[in-house]
Chains A and B, each alone.
Chain A
């Protein structure tokens, strides 16, 4: 599986896209969505909430397991994909598009995160 090359990635399978200078769009990768399989529940923060790098910003539940969604950066949530909880299929069908989860105004860098090549390698090695 090849992940989009214009995104950054975490070890915990979140993707990050730079929307404009400060705002980052965050979702989970196709690999994560496929591993979770059928999704049944999603808990996202609200706009205005703060997030911390490495700590949970929400929870996602599938028929297999409940997983934390981990924030790749420190910052403030500026937008949430409100359509998602009622349309969890979008995370499976279009993880990098309609499946986006939150937008964050970051106060920390994303330079240390993985590029697509490194992420794909880490998934293949697992």
Chain B
């Protein structure tokens, strides 16, 4: 499509794109009244209907009241749904079609790295010896899993350029909290109890200041400069004499999808003040295998295995947020840890003659931070992903994630304003600010749903008004990226020609726009 195309031609083209998007049925259930029927399984319940009718008892019936403690037998019947097997099957199959995942269509949710999760991960995680392990299984019955976790740790250490790893944290924010607790313990240990302040750039994820508060620190905000990077003058001002500085939490690449060119100097300044540098590793997908945080001065970081190392996520987990630390923080990591040693006589070690122990003795450890050592299934999938890609493959992941983001940025910059329009890393931030007809970022997001595409992250980072944060990831083809560009062009034309349709979208789903204010103020958390 060139700028010489006639207006009529453009409109025809837009309609065609819209029709294609709908006709493709990227999202089963689109505009389909059949999918807007009963909401819950209770709505289709009929008294007396059964999926299974068990045979008559072959043993004498026992009165529950005679064998259970008083008060433990319910007096009223449980109000359970009563449906046939086919009705139950159709109900849940229908619900599954109302869901959206990366397996449906494009999912450019910035900062979330919604990459495709290769099926081999599931195949390996499903191997019986791994899938059926119990978390309290003794060491000698789960040597394979301990070795897998230990090997995953070694890879994560290597990619970080740091000295040790803990696989305890169950998510990124849990990793932040665990790391901050280790930092607190290290500061206290050297008599720096008065160091209470963590510096955080204004573009940070909201979890950063929240984790600081939970760990007992206070926070001080760093301003971004015009190019979205840390303002170095403000950094110097906020460090001041450095006496109260416990550290810095920085996301690199930043939430604007930009690499921080001053990162080395920033780390040096924090170190001069006696603080630790924490890196939020949410955006590791842009630099995995290419740049090591330990090399540019970071002391501690978390990984989001569910982002960079391909776990299914978006439905609430499970994830994993391992932290990598420099040796100065290693003594404080949670217990238990996994240690490798030579197998003794009588121990059936691995092929290399090694044995793996879970170790609880670690005098300076902050202790236990969760019920069990790790989300083992996540470790299996990430280890599989890492081994399937190899070191060259992981470098290609970063390269393609960055190329895809820049391709979209270059093709979309004439459609929507890119906030900081310069070469980006794995994502970029556009803005809906200044669009005609009072169209907001949320309107664009809702309208994209009609086109069968998951909306980008909106209204984040907070420093960009009406932000649209777009992260395509490395797993999308050029054809998919081109389709997204065509949809965005069609949507942009609609903003001029038919803003009301955009403002009231989505029109093709089982629900339109929920009342977000009521949902926050008067949440209904039960059926």
Contact = CB atoms under 8 A, between A and B. Distances in A.
B495 to A, nearest CB: 18
A40 B517 contact: yes
Given A35-B465, A63-B520, A67-B462, 12 more contacts: A38-B516, A38-B517, A40-B521, A41-B520, A41-B521, A61-B520, A63-B516, A63-B517, A64-B458, A64-B459, A65-B462, A126-B465
B135 interface: no
A64 B459 CA distance: 6
Contacts of B521: 40-41
Contact of A65 (B440, B459, B516): B459
B478 to A, nearest CB: 33
B206 interface: yes
B460 interface: yes
Contacts of A66: 206
Interface in B482-527: 516-517, 520-521
A40 B520 contact: yes
12 contacts: A35-B465, A38-B516, A40-B517, A40-B520, A41-B521, A63-B516, A63-B517, A63-B520, A65-B459, A65-B460, A65-B462, A67-B462
A67 B221 CA distance: 12
Interface string A28-42: 000000010111110
Contacts of A41: 520-521
Contacts of B440: 37
Q: For the side of the interface on B, what is the size category?
A: 10 to 19
Contacts of B520: 40-41, 61, 63
Contacts of A65: 459-460, 462
Contacts of B460: 65
Nearest to A68: B221
Interface string A48-75: 0000000000000101111100000000
A53 to B, nearest CB: 13
Interface residues of A, number: 13
Interface of B: 206, 440, 458-460, 462, 465, 516-517, 520-521
Interface in A77-110: none
Contacts of B517: 38-40, 63
Interface in A108-126: 126
A29 B188 CA distance: 43
A66 B209 CA distance: 12
B459 to A, nearest CB: 4
A65 B462 CA distance: 8
Contacts of B516: 38, 63
Contacts of B462: 65, 67
Interface centre among B440, B458, B459, B465, by most A CB within 10 Å? B459
Contacts of A37: 440
Nearest to A64: B459
Nearest to B220: A55
A66 B459 CA distance: 11
Nearest to A31: B465
Interface in A9-41: 35, 37-41
A15 B372 CA distance: 51
Contacts of A35: 465
Nearest to B459: A64
Nearest to B221: A68
Nearest to A70: B221
A114 B516 CA distance: 34
B302 to A, nearest CB: 22
A58 B440 CA distance: 27
A45 to B, nearest CB: 16
A71 to B, nearest CB: 13
Contacts of A39: 517
Nearest to B464: A126
A39 B465 CA distance: 16
A6 to B, nearest CB: 26
Contacts of B459: 64-65
A126 B417 CA distance: 13
A47 B520 CA distance: 28
Considering the complex of A and B, which 3 residue pairs feature the smallest CB-CB distances, nearest first?
A63-B516, A64-B459, A40-B520
Nearest to A41: B520
Nearest to A55: B220
Contacts of A40: 517, 520-521
